[in-house]
Structure 1
């Protein structure tokens, strides 16, 4: 089992992922996407710009999901926020934190091996997935543990809030 940050930079994408229990990827081939396998852990990360107010919002890890199918080409591309996504996989979103909360990533960067360049760490998040070493995943899971609840308990609050925005 591998662990990844699943990077979501648009609230419409967050709603789609939570509602569909799927992840979709752009056409550009990325090694980390092709390596995804059922059982891999996805630590769901929303960027500062995801909620359309980057001066107020922080980049946060908001929950956990697990890959439940191999990545495959979609019969029909998914269009979200003006972008087309041509491949995808099924996921099981198991936990979420209350809406607009979560584990801030920036304060953890100094402790995470996935970000070797501590001054330009955010450039590593310009991709849909970032593989985490097991020690990084454990640190993030420990930070998340006090806030996360079963996804079913928070799902409607995310979908309602995103629909109103």
Structure 2
């Protein structure tokens, strides 16, 4: 009996804090908290990630929208960090490396809410009900959702090397203005 290698899975990678977005983009890594999650444990080299920022990510949920902001591939297994990483006051003790392939311009991207009726991953299409599904670090997607969302992000995104510096600068400025520290 031959065993075929499993094809890569695709996940929404949920980012709900701007400092976490900057860290992921700057380091091309994802960090996970100590809490064990089955979907994190299943993440494998070659899996695809569609980066999603929540409405609260940029600290103004009345203005901002949940958006898809990039595409990445997992390049290492999830493993424990020698030293935990602290991002926005939270400790993360394990993670994996990523290869960022496409990123949208700062605070832009593909808005998720209008797509909800078309997506299998959000079966409850009542207004706002779908957002409950993105209160975890990863949400696995089926083939139809993967194809649709990947194509939309590819259309909206560009070269990470050109676009990531703006994220890092703007997040640094926002953090500095919040703390009163000169940028």
TM class, shorter-length: over 0.9
Q: If the length of structure 2 is used for normalisation, what is the TM-score?
A: 0.88
Whether the 8 Å contact between 2:71 and 2:101 is mirrored in structure 1 is: yes
Query: Given the alignment, which residue of 18, 39, 52 partners 2:25?
Result: 18
CA contact (8 A) 2:78 2:95 kept: yes
**Structure 2 residue ranges without an equivalent (≥5):** 1-7, 175-183
Secondary structure of 1:13's match? Answer: helix
Larger radius of gyration, structure 1 or 2?
Answer: 2
Using CA pairs below 8 Å that are at least 6 residues apart, which structure has the higher relative contact order? 1
Residue deviations 1:92-132 (CA, integer Å, cap 9, x gap) = 11110111110001111111111112221101101000001
What does residue 28 of structure 1 align with? Answer: 35
Q: What SS class does the counterpart of residue 31 from structure 2 fall into?
A: strand
Structure with more helix by fraction: 2
Q: Please provide the CA RMSD for this pair.
A: 0.8
More strand by share: 1
Aligned to 1:76: 83
Equivalent residue number for residue 13 of structure 2: 6
> For residues 90 and 170 of structure 2, what CA distance do their matches in structure 1 show?
22
Gaps of 5+ in 1: none
